[in-house]
Amino acid sequence: MLIGFLLKAHQKIHVASSIEMPTPIMSLSRNAKRRIVFTADLVVLLASLMLAFVLRYGTPGWSGALSKSWPLLVVMAVSGAVLFLLVRLPQVKLRAFENRALLRLGGVAMALAICAMVTSYLLDLPTPRSVPLIFAALFFMMATGVRLLMIQLLQIKANKEGREQTRVAIYGAGAAGVQLAAALRQSHEARPFIFLDDNPNLQGLVIGGVPVYRPSLLPKLIARHKITRVLLAMPSAPRERQEELIASILAYGVEVQILPSFIDLMSNKGLNAQLTPVSPFQLLGRSKVDLDTPEIAKAYAGRVVMVTGAGGSIGSELCRQLVVCRPACIVLFERGEFALYSIDRTLRPLAEDAGIPVVSRLGSVTDPARVEAVVNQEGVEIILHAAAYKHVPLVEENELEGARNNVLGTKIVADAAQKAGVERFILVSTDKAVRPTNIMGATKRLAEMVVQDLQTRSPCTKFAMVRFGNVLGSSGSVLPLFQKQIETGGPVTVTHPEVTRFFMTIPEAARLVLLAGAYAKGGDVFVLDMGQPQKILDIAKKMIELSGRRVKDAATGQGDIAIEITGLRPGEKLYEELLLDDNSLTKTPHPKILCAQESVLGQHAVSSMLEEIETSIKKGDAARLRRLMGIYVEGYKIGLQQTVSLPSLPVSNGVAAS
């Protein structure tokens, strides 16, 4: 019953078409295949009967005895054919050949032995009484051997197809995991390569041809077997334990699916919600951008690369992709202890296999002494600055800390890079920095200004920036939020029916940063051509449909998941932009990556702006900070009247100048 459920679920969760065996046998109809098995069994029957005479006599005289018992061959051939059809022996599927099939085959062998005895007695044939018993044993062994040989041939074929199949690891080698592996072995779309289990008594065993390993080996096993999906077959495990495992496995860059509990299976719940994850690529509304270029490897090979915010969504993906570039060392810089532990645990096995040292350093980008010490001690040559507060509603309510981390933190890391003579400094920015209506976007625009200003007086270090659209799958993006809302039955919340956003995937975002580092000339702003922006409402509808549910119609009440419009949040825009001036665009060696040279604030203006930010933070004056942003950031508007005297700066086109 469980296998039936799993097979149905398995058919739903795979979108890749199965690759059929191109051999003439596998292209035959089911009836033709059954006739082949039926004929093979008849041949085995006659061969085993003749061999029984050979073994009984052990001398050349067996042929004479057999010639006198020729009616036995005829009767057994006819009786065997009838018996095979009665017990439906040719209809037993080879891939499902197990204990019950063996018992059926054994029963047929015993019935044939009795038939041979009765025939010899009734026809008064000179057949020794031991021949029927030897015949039955030989028939059972030879028929079983023929089937095992066929299964082996199918397995060889499956191994060849393994390059096209989804390569699966099953976490849990208990009853549920074993049944899941048996079900998957009958599928063309997926193949179980390994079991993982915490039980040391199971580790090292081979269950159904699949070896069992300890979970700590998962990173190496993923690389060795090219595993792309891990199935969690622990339906009785507590939800907290499952969530812990999911978080740790996702860090390895593979997809995770949960086997529903028996209660969920019986109630027909859990299959769609838990076994049908939505891939970010299904929501892009465009084809993936191929960002694999030789320039990336050349730019980072043999360099010491430091990634700030290494434990975040973008930072961790940057670290994983850097391994392929063969840098001299990867320095992980992160303020969150658990985030640093997670990326270190994920990255270190991959880096060790590639012979790349990994250095993990706790610290905040707002601590100048710590940043400078790490950069100097590790001999950093390239800095990828991904550390930032990015959640719009949170930064909107904590504007002083947002400015401290995003603006002053960027200044501190950039100053350390310039002072140490770092080769390249790449700032990870956002499309929300262009004419922002929220504090988060404004702080990122101010950070860009800091970097642009430093470039004007930096003879050694090349400073550049990368502006992202919304990164699907990152923490705080709509993908995990909508998935959780769908799993709980909805409603899915959308702020406004007309809100649009540019979207990219985490791998695309990380690759864009690495390419920016390779192409950087100084002061550049890199953006990815992401096609047309997507409506968030359309994304919500598509996710509901891809999850196997229907959008609930507000008028009729028909459907599964409702979509609720909640209204724009403070600081949220209906649409985002990537550039302040579209006319500033220039081409790069990659056709999908564009570069812009934007206007720069003078050193005096940037210095005054930074002093005001520090003053606002020291005094805890959020209103002062907001008024400051209204002056320096084009597009940012404040609703309060200015009551604090700020430096008198000439303003042109909404941007303060020195």
CA 572 to CA 593: how far, in whole Å? Answer: 27
Catalytic annotation present for 432 = yes
**Residue 213 three-state SS:** strand
DSSP-assigned letter for residue 302: T
The CA angle 174-178-184, to the nearest 5 degrees, is 145
Say if strands 166-171 and 190-196 run parallel, antiparallel, or are unpaired: parallel
Provide φ and ψ at 334, rounded to 5°: -155, 140
- Do the strands 229-232 and 166-171 form a parallel or antiparallel pair, or are they unpaired? parallel
- The percent of the chain in helix, strand and coil, each rounded to the nearest 5, is 50, 15, 35
User: β-strand 470-472 against 206-207: which pairing, if any?
Assistant: unpaired
Tokens 């599928």 identify what position?
Answer: 187
Residues 396, 398, 404, 410: what is their CA dihedral angle, to the nearest 10 degrees? -40
**Amino acid making up residue 229:** R
Measured CA to CA, the distance from residue 202 to residue 197 in angstroms comes to 7
β-strands 503-505, 563-565 pairing? unpaired
How many of the other CB atoms lie within 10 Å of CB of 651?
Answer: 11
Beta strands in 457-499 (DSSP E): 462-468, 470-472, 492-494
- Asked if 569 and 499 count as a contact pair (C-beta separation under 8 A), the reply is no
| Residue 229 exposed, middle or buried by CB count within 10 Å (0-12, 13-18, 19+) | middle
Tokens representing 288 are 């993936």
- Name the E strands within 483-536: 492-494, 500-501, 503-505, 524-528, 534-535
From residue 513, give the alpha-carbon distance in Å to each of 51, 291, 464: 73, 10, 10
629 vs 287, 345, 624, CA distance in Å?
37, 40, 9
Q: Please answer whether residues 46 and 53 qualify as being in contact, where contact means their C-beta atoms are separated by less than 8 angstroms.
A: no
Q: In terms of residues, how long is the chain? A: 658
From residue 1, alpha-carbon distances to 186, 265, 266, 310, 476 in Å are 15, 10, 10, 46, 39
Cα–Cα distance for residue pair 600/446, rounded to 1 Å: 11
Nearest residue to 577 via CA among 654, 653, 470? 470
Of 600, 636, 599, 629, the closest CA to residue 612 belongs to 629
Task: Look at residue 568 and give its three-state secondary structure.
Answer: coil
Q: Which residue has the tokens 């290494």?
A: 310
* Active-site hit among 220, 269, 390, 432: 432
Peptide bond preceding 491 in cis form (omega within 30 of 0): yes
Q: Please give the DSSP secondary-structure letter assigned to residue 216.
A: G
Side chain identity at residue 647, one-letter code: P
Instruction: Output the DSSP codes for 603-639.
Output: HHHHHHHHHHHHHHHHHT-HHHHHHHHHHHSTT---S
348 Cβ contact partners less than 8 Å away, ≥ 6 residues apart: 358
Residue 558: C-alpha distances to residues 160, 487, 547, 555 (Å) = 46, 18, 17, 8
Please identify every residue annotated as catalytic.
432
